[in-house]
A and B are shown apart, each in its own frame.
Chain A
């Protein structure tokens, strides 16, 4: 696990300036809840304003010459009202914001998932599940934090600074002078520190994502590491990551530690300056509006009040810019257009003819890679069964993938029932097809649930009935809990072969019109396979079928065998003719015969 290889996780550490375009997109996804969040800021301002008003009350109190004799009622009443308004509006804003962002998250998650489900295989070839899961957890989390806390805190901070300045101006405009000195100083210091801190934090996040990536991969491959006795070496590698994180973490928090007190120190210097200035003002009595001790008290309170938000602004700004980078990645996927989509004139109605035609088909997986198929022509008649044979990497699976429209051809056309495959509704196409792949991925759930994936309305009896027909009933029944055994990633350990059986039966249960079996029985023992082959042969009588197999016994009964190689069809015919030809197919078969001696 070298260092550069984990680059795909580096983008966790990216930041991006706050852009109105992205904000607009986020708000759009949030729908009505965006309005609630924005609207709730009115309460926030009420809350903040009352905070400042409470300070004004204290100022009046201090300046009051008759405080010894005045009735307490007006003071208590005023203070009480202000505090009540403050708390009610504060609580309203707080709760409405997080409840709305929770709702907004729900719709964003749904939107994200739906967009992902529409994307083609080409997308999934490039983006592996680990990367996508990081988007759904890390990026979503940082957007949620942004919506609930960062946005709120930025508003609060700006609000406090704004209202305080306004209040200071009201008390005595000349008092603004030391503030105006103070604020640029604070921002300047912030920017200077920030420069070093951002680079430091970037390094830290980078190191952290590398460490997490290493940890994830180590867990995924832990069995291999144990089998190859790499545990000690892995620990050493992790130690390196861990140490780097330790050093960077220490540096970052020290830098942070240097920053915060320094800000406060500058703030206190401002205060000292203000006190001297205030004393001078009181002493000189030259201003049009004399400064009272109460004014000075309010002044001190307001300045101390302003120091905190400046700190918050900086903190939440960095949170926002990493949230922006997250949002960008999320919307990149949401806005992505799959190249495989239904055209406007897609057809959902079919006649009963299920022929397949490939016409002058060229295909390559990537511009940089060589052509896999070159000018391939192939017609499969309805209810015909064909087999594709050839060496690993010859392009058999590619042909199957093109017919399944997992990819679009680079050149040429594919017709099903004489309709261009691009004009067929994708969903209908896949519903009519059974594509069984070598790696039978099972979803978490019982065997029953997995077999029922294509048609959840099937009853247990119907499922068992079909399973008997396929000859798999005994095998499923013999699982620890029979058909109720939990399988899939988080379920019982079942063998590779059993997994293939489930995925095969799962696909065929809806009586498809086109059947594509790509090495679907490679891990199944020969006896079970022969029973299956009988069942499959029965099905294939009324189905257009394509078989890809390395074991030739499974393809002996097909109508036509095609030997694929060099980007096209090298030889075709039925078993007997091909054997007589003594060409490519004969050679392949001979390898088997050789094995039998």
Chain B
């Protein structure tokens, strides 16, 4: 807990920005509220003293009567009623401002988190298991929510109340006041040290929790595989291990947190013991004048207990929030954000050129190695190569999901970075190897990139992707929901929806990343045909593992270990003794038969 620079403070000050006025009003109200809260026992004390001794100068001053009889005591309930009314009112004002401040802060924070997640580039998301990112984020938001909603104000309010109580105690009897303050401060110091020690353990527990959730998620996603491999028992053992690690870590965390709570509570009771004993002694030596004061001292010290309880709960929450704030700040500070500094708009003509482009993910191993090519315009271009040769990366570089480590990619002789992302996305569409569909209707999934698309446009895109027939065969047609609790689609159906989603944009650059692997030959050929016939003015880059899908390509690039080693038309590549032929040699044998 490096207090100076801990991210929680930046997060808080950031989310509370512009609410200064509200906060000032709130704090004044809290003071007022607590003052009334403390006046009430004072009233009780007077009542007891009146009943006990029938003499108190203060009381006489207030109600301006010289002689006290029991009938005059009716003033006490009346004053109490007025105080109660004031307390009620200040409560409302306090809670009104509290709600506004916290809800606004939470709102800002959520907005910022959401925006940031979308700014992070592919590189960031590659390194994070999305399931992990989600469960962490949900947890973090929940904690921050809780802290901003309850914890923060409890901290402020309890601290103010406790401090005011001790000031009251000093006014009643300074020896009792000072002694109890000393005890309280000493114990707070100890409990602070314990809490500080618990911090790394809380971080550990959070990690173990994430691990456990990650393992759980993996087993749910890979359940079919676990089943088919016959390794259930092994997986159960493995998960039990994760659960045990979480349990053990929680155990040691619990011990520390319990110690923290206990120190706080024990000190309160110790204060009652010492405060009451001392005040009785002071009464005996006439340093305290009334029995009612002893009552008041007890009342105040006793009323501190529930405040200390909630205060230590809030402090506990604060520390947990600090752990989560670390993670959120880590995301906020991430430099892996999409660079959208360009100002040029991508116009219709598009001439894509790679100028000595290299790219590496993380480990210094070049996935793309000095590529120099100019993609022929408005052609169906095939990209072939072995598994892991860099085809996907090349497509993702064109789509500007990554930035080249070396060299430049230009469109119309301008660096691709000079264009705004939006103008690039308007002209370009990419179909992923794996189709991610959102849990909404087929209609909305296809129109994802063009929410304003008409029914006709959507149906046309579906027809081009050879999925229209299937969709209308479903009971709800285009309004069928996909994904969780919706209809479950086969790999091929998903791929075709992914293709339709890209085609509806009528892109001028279409990048298709092995997105027909799960389709049967007939469907695949139909789709390729549809694209080449209907999209005359489109530069399409297409990767596939199947020779027959590449036949329609007008130009081909062959990749090996991140380099383009051959290029040319299908005929020229199949005729010579090429690497291309080597890739497809089994097919060639088939031809020869």
Contact = CB atoms under 8 A, between A and B. Distances in A.
Interface residues of A, number: 171
B254 A453 contact: no
A314 to B, nearest CB: 15
Contacts of B251: 99, 102
Given A128-B484, A435-B229, A528-B386, 10 more contacts: A58-B276, A61-B280, A83-B273, A106-B247, A216-B134, A235-B118, A272-B77, A406-B224, A493-B361, A595-B525
B54 to A, nearest CB: 11
Interface in A416-432: 427, 429-431
Interface stretch (B3-11, B169-177, B322-330, B444-452): B444-452
Contact of A117 (B47, B219, B276, B484): B219
Contacts of A132: 216, 220
List 4 tightest A-B contacts by C-beta distance, closest first. A257-B95, A595-B548, A497-B387, A261-B91
Given A94-B262, A133-B216, A257-B99, A224 B436 contact: yes
Nearest to A526: B584
B92 to A, nearest CB: 6
B59 interface: no
Interface stretch (A84-92, A161-169, A460-468): A84-92
B341 interface: no
Interface stretch (B156-164, B193-201, B298-306, B349-357): B298-306
B409 interface: no
A293 B50 CA distance: 9
Contacts of A431: 230
26 contacts: A79-B272, A117-B232, A124-B223, A227-B425, A227-B429, A242-B114, A245-B107, A246-B103, A246-B107, A249-B149, A282-B51, A393-B490, A393-B492, A406-B228, A431-B230, A441-B222, A454-B230, A489-B221, A497-B387, A506-B229, A519-B491, A525-B385, A529-B586, A553-B586, A553-B590, A596-B547
A558 interface: no
A290 interface: no
A530 interface: yes
Contacts of A496: 387, 433-434, 514, 517
B436 A221 contact: yes
Contact-residue bracket for chain B: 35 or more
B273 A80 contact: yes
Interface string B245-278: 0110011001100100110011001101100110
A5 B486 contact: yes
A558 to B, nearest CB: 15
B339 to A, nearest CB: 12
Contacts of B523: 391-392
Contacts of A221: 436, 438
A592 interface: yes
Contact of B106 (A246, A272, A435): A246
B130 to A, nearest CB: 5
A113 B243 contact: yes
Contact of B138 (A216, A429, A551): A216
Interface stretch (B80-88, B184-192, B373-381, B530-538): B80-88
A173 interface: no
B519 interface: yes
B521 A592 contact: yes
B493 A392 contact: yes
A46 to B, nearest CB: 14
B485 A8 contact: yes
A269 B80 CA distance: 9
Contacts of B47: 275, 296
A453 B234 contact: yes
Contact of B91 (A260, A390, A475): A260
Interface string A489-510: 1101111111001010011000
B345 interface: no
A525 B583 contact: yes
Contact of A58 (B102, B295, B519): B295
Contact of B545 (A58, A501, A525): A525
Interface stretch (B68-76, B410-418, B457-465): B68-76
Contacts of A5: 439-441, 481, 483, 486
B226 interface: yes
A430 B481 CA distance: 34
B436 A223 contact: yes
Contact of B229 (A250, A453, A488): A453
A257 B70 contact: no
Nearest to A228: B449
A20 interface: no
Nearest to A404: B228
Interface string A433-466: 1010111111110000000011010000000000
A110 B365 contact: no
Contacts of A526: 545-547, 583-587
Contacts of A113: 216, 219, 236, 239-240, 243
B86 to A, nearest CB: 11
A580 interface: no
Interface in B274-305: 276-277, 280-281, 283-284, 291, 294-295, 298-299, 302-303
B23 interface: no
Given A133-B220, A253-B102, A253-B103, A219 B95 contact: no
A103 interface: yes
Most B-side CB within 10 Å, residue of A124, A226, A246: A226
Interface string A251-290: 0011011101110110011011001100100110000000
